[in-house]
Amino acid sequence: MAAWSDWYNQLIKPAWTPPGSTIGLIWTIIYPLIILSLGLVISQHVAGKIKFRTLLPFILNLFFNLAFTPIQFGLRNLPLAMIDILLVWFTILWSIISIWPTSKLVVILQLPYLLWVTIATYLQSFITLNNSS
């Protein structure tokens, strides 16, 4: 099996696809925001300020986010990766809606993540639709 980078580089992608180094830099900025958001929400839950149903979309989001790379680059399953990234996007939106009444700070921390995943979802959709048999 070819290296994941060789496989990914041969896929049809939109002309505006960011280089891998840019994608890596963006995630280097966004992952600390995700971790901080999750930490704040967990601490609010432990303190009894929010119910588990408010924490749930953050947990699901982390699961779907961490599943993307093994699906995309390990399994090389583009349709499943597209479903996964849609679940990532949906759970970010669900997280923002659920925490809005309690913590505007967490909402602000989630907005760059939502913006980036919106772009990444379009990119993944393009790649999936143009490279799946």
Predicted confidence (pLDDT) per residue in 55-68, tens digit: 999 999 999 999 99
On whether residue 3 sits in a domain, the answer given is no
pLDDT at 51: 97
* Domain limits for position 120: 20-131
Q: Residue 129: is its pLDDT beyond 90?
A: yes
On whether residue 43 sits in a domain, the answer given is yes
Q: Residue 1: is its pLDDT beyond 70?
A: no
pTM: 0.94
On whether residue 11 sits in a domain, the answer given is no
On whether residue 12 sits in a domain, the answer given is no
On whether residue 5 sits in a domain, the answer given is no
On whether residue 95 sits in a domain, the answer given is yes
Predicted confidence (pLDDT) per residue in 12-33, tens digit: 999 999 998 999 999 999 999 9
Contact 131, 84 (CB under 8 A): no
On whether residue 10 sits in a domain, the answer given is no
Cβ-in-10-Å burial (0-12, 13-18, 19+) of 74 comes to exposed
What is the domain count for the chain? 1
pLDDT at 25: 97
Contact 92, 116 (CB under 8 A): no
